Amino acid sequence: MKKTHNLSVKNGTYKDQTGAEKGRWLNIGSIFERDDGTLSIKFDCMPIVEGGWNGWVNAFPYSPEDYQNRQPAQPQQRPPRTVSSPPRQNYNQPPPADDDIPF
């Protein structure tokens, strides 16, 4: 069996360094051709796409050369997250008598 195609779904967009909007693709599996010419599909994951997946999968020709000279993707810079904590409760005190929850 040999790998012939990558299976991908578009799961969003992003802006490149020039500001152009590009599609963000998720590789979800591969197509393999058996010795007798029949095809097999191997899914590595099922896509979770914002707004829901429409069921379409794109098959792109696989070429090992495409992956040999590939540079690793640079992680995107994200602003630091701020976490706000809820007010502390005093669990050593009994709940107020007008509490609606009986337990």
18 confidence band (pLDDT: 50, 70, 90): very high
Domain ranges within the chain, ordered by starting residue: 2-59
58 confidence band (pLDDT: 50, 70, 90): very high
Q: What is the pLDDT of residues 23-36, one digit of tens each?
A: 989 999 999 999 99
Annotate 50-87 with DSSP letters as a single string: TT---S--EEEE--HHHHHSPPPPPPPP-PPP--PPPP
Under DSSP, is residue 38 helix (H, G, I), strand (E, B) or coil? Answer: coil
pLDDT at 97 over 70: no
53 confidence band (pLDDT: 50, 70, 90): confident
Alpha-carbon distance of 21 to 15, in angstroms, equals 4
For the whole model, what pTM was predicted? 0.58
